[in-house]
Amino acid sequence: MEEQLAGYVSGLYEEHYAGLFRHLILSGSTAAEADDLIQEGFLRLFRHLGSGHPVDNPRWWLVKVMHNLRIDDIRKRKREFALDQPS
C-alpha cells in the first residue's frame, strides 16, 4: 500500500513540479526556498493521503498548501528580522 502511495505521489511530483515552482518564484521565493516548500508540500500530501484522507484535486490541494507554507515562511522571516533589529 505504501509503495503504491509513494508511486502515486511521485507521479504527481513529476506532473506538477514545474508549475508549482513557477508559482512560488512568481510569489517571491528564491529557487532554494521554492524547492524546500515543494518538498514540504509533497511530504504533507504523502502524510495526508497515508492517513486515509482523500484529496479530490491534488493540484489544487498542493497549490493551497504551498501558498500557506509561503505565507508561513514570510511571517517567520518577519519575526526573525524584527528580533534582529535593535530596540
Q: What are 2-17's pLDDT values in tens digits?
A: 899 999 999 999 999 9
Cα–Cα distance for residue pair 52/63, rounded to 1 Å: 20
pTM: 0.84
- The pLDDT tens digits for 52-65 are 999 999 999 999 99
Burial class (CB in 10 A: 0-12, 13-18, 19+), 21: middle
Report the pLDDT value the prediction gives residue 46, as an integer from 0 to 100.
Answer: 95
- The pLDDT tens digits for 26-48 are 988 899 999 999 999 999 999 99
